[in-house]
Amino acid sequence: MELMNTTRETFRVSFEFFPPKSDEMEAQLWDTVEQLAAWEPDFVSVTYGAGGSTKAPTLHTVRRLIGETPLATAAHLTCVDASREDIRSVVEDYRAAGVRRIVALRGDPAAGIGTAYVPHPQGYAQTADLVRGLVEYGDFDISVSAYPEKHPESADLVADIETLKRKADAGAARALTQFFFDNDVFERYLEKVRAAGIAIPVVPGIMPIQNLTQLKRFASRCGSSVPAFLDARFEGLDERPEDRAEVAADIAAEQIEDLIRRGLRDFHIYTMNRAPLVSAVLERLGRRQIDSPRIAAA
């Protein structure tokens, strides 16, 4: 595709990472962080498992990002299977580590997506309650989630947008969306969000496609649709990984370029802890790199 002529001022990006589960994944994460820091993200975020299942690795990752890089770092926090005291303890650990940005989420049910969510009896029932609690703790920049195709558990899009409004009214600074591939769907969703009186920024979540088959499985669980045009774009490339990567970068760059034309300026990219495809997308958009920090091996 033809390169856009863009700068950091044209659009802003943030990146999502997940905490590593092995030494090999740890090395891959920090190599990814080092490469992607060169794109000057507005911030990066680190995911957090239901019920604090990745509490220690998340905190370790966040501490290193804050201590060893210039990257503004947001830590995820969920309500699932945690009392208010449990959550306060995590928040105090975050605060001590220098965290001032939190992505507040209800989280998936501990028994897995598709099972009933049951609030902890001494916890926060929903994300809006968690956001209010974080506002009471003080000086946190709080992001929440949004779902252009509605959350799988929501009765309909109207109910889903009402949930987002409660989160915004509770004190969220922005919403980061679930990934999507149809920009018309996002634009219609944003129109409904604004009509509901929600004024906070709604940042499109962009998922560069590392593996289309795996993406389809994941999308089916989280309520995102995978348009037929993606099958057509990847047709015949199963045994041609280099060509497949080129097409994947083209698709994500084209999506962002179209959203920029529609007036969007902020994008949250799900990196899957891999740098090459994300970098290829940003290169296609003409974004300029800076010298990235060197990160020592753990």
Residues taking part in catalysis: 16
In sequence order, which residues have a C-beta less than 8 Å from that of residue 141 and are 6 or more positions away? Answer: 74, 100, 101, 102, 173
Radius of gyration of the chain (CA): 19
Q: Are 168 and 128 in contact (CB under 8 A)?
A: no
217 CB neighbour count, 10 Å cutoff = 10
258: nearest Cα among 268, 250, 246: 250
What is the torsion angle, in degrees rounded to the nearest 10, for the CA atoms of residue 179, residue 180, residue 184 and residue 187?
A: -20
Burial class (CB in 10 A: 0-12, 13-18, 19+), 236: exposed
What residue has token string 């000057």? 40
- The Cα–Cα gap between 162 and 270 comes to 25
Coil, helix or strand for 91? helix
- The Cα–Cα gap between 277 and 37 comes to 14
- The Cα–Cα gap between 127 and 29 comes to 28
290 CB neighbour count, 10 Å cutoff = 10
Coil, helix or strand for 79? coil
Q: At what angle do helices 23-37 and 55-68 cross, to 10 degrees?
A: 40
DSSP symbol at 148 = T
Coil, helix or strand for 40? coil
